[in-house]
């Protein structure tokens, strides 16, 4: 058994653990996301993977466009949601414009496959995925958010989880979205700054953030993008990741649970 086999075994155990933990935290997650996703809303799930986030949005009464380029994940999405009229599956990657791209496939976990070589190098160098490899690749069709908006309409909420490719996804958007979230990685602060700067081109956004998969905000107040960056620059954990939530203008949400 080589190192990658060990990591795959560990990842399977970790996946079972996360499934159990997600089930336990499901009421908290539903409550958290219910402030962004309402019954009848259209949600774009960019980086849908095997559909766990899709399922949460369906429980909240939303319609979902699940965007996922990995062939194995698409098969699972079709198996889970292929007959559900509330779900549309787009087997593509998102980027700045239409074309073709290369997706680097993780030897261990499908959720960390990525189109960004810079991100892969950063998470290996930081030690977070030091022993992981991305030795295979898959040619993928690339489209942009604008094209999906033309096809399905403007989403009420858009979640972007693209493993270091979030800025490229946002560059394919030329319309302001009222509410969205995108994944951040402390190893890639320059990419995060580009994402925040891109959103500010559309108007003034308010931001908050989570750590890992914890279903609550870490800031007691909504922040502008410069204050948010200052917080991230001051963090001592250089392998931290989570999601940034952005709302156009001033938020009118019920008070969350904070730390």
- Segment 221-225 mean pLDDT: 95
Residue 129 in any domain: the answer is: no
Residue 184 three-state SS: strand
Per-residue pLDDT reduced to its tens digit, 20-55? 345 445 789 999 999 999 999 999 999 999 999 999
**Against a cut of 0.85, is the pTM above it?**
yes
Residue 11 in any domain: the answer is: no
The predicted pLDDT at position 207 comes to 97
Residue 102 in any domain: the answer is: no
Residue 48 belongs to a domain with what CATH number? 3.40.50.150
The whole domain housing 216 covers 27-94+144-248
The predicted pLDDT at position 250 comes to 77
Residue 234 in any domain: the answer is: yes
Residue 228 in any domain: the answer is: yes
Residue 122 in any domain: the answer is: no
Residue 190 in any domain: the answer is: yes
Does pLDDT of 2 surpass 90? no
Residue 95 three-state SS: coil
* E strand or H helix that includes residue 148: helix 145-152
Residue 50 three-state SS: coil
Residue 100 three-state SS: strand
- Segment 93-118 mean pLDDT: 96
Per-residue pLDDT reduced to its tens digit, 181-208? 999 999 999 999 999 999 999 999 999 9
Report the domain count for the chain: 1
Residue 151 in any domain: the answer is: yes
């Amino acid at each position: 058994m080589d190192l990658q086999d060990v990591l795959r075994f560990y990842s399977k155990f970790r996946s079972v653990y996360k499934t159990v933990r997600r089930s336990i935290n499901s009421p908290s997650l539903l409550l958290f996301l219910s402030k962004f996703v309402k019954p009848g809303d259209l949600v774009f799930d960019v980086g849908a993977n095997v559909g766990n986030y899709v399922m949460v949005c369906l429980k909240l009464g939303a319609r979902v466009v699940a965007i996922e380029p990995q062939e194995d994940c698409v098969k699972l999405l079709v198996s889970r949601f292929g007959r559900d009229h509330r779900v549309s599956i787009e087997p593509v990657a998102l980027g700045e414009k239409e074309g073709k791209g290369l997706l680097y496939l993780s030897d261990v976990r499908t959720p960390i496959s990525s189109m960004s070589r810079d991100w892969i190098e950063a998470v290996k160098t930081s030690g977070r995925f030091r022993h992981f490899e991305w030795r295979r690749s898959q040619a993928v069709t690339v489209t942009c958010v604008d094209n999906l908006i033309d096809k399905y309409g403007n989403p009420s909420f858009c979640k972007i989880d693209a493993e270091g490719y979030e800025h490229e996804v946002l560059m394919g958007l030329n319309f302001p979205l009222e509410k969205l979230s995108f994944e951040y990685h402390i190893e890639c602060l320059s990419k995060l700054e580009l994402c925040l700067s891109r959103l500010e081109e559309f108007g003034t956004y308010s931001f908050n953030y989570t750590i890992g998969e914890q279903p609550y905000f870490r800031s007691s107040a909504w922040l502008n993008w410069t204050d948010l960056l200052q917080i991230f620059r001051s963090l001592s954990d250089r392998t931290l990741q989570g999601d940034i939530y952005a709302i156009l203008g001033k938020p009118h949400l019920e008070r969350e649970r904070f730390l």
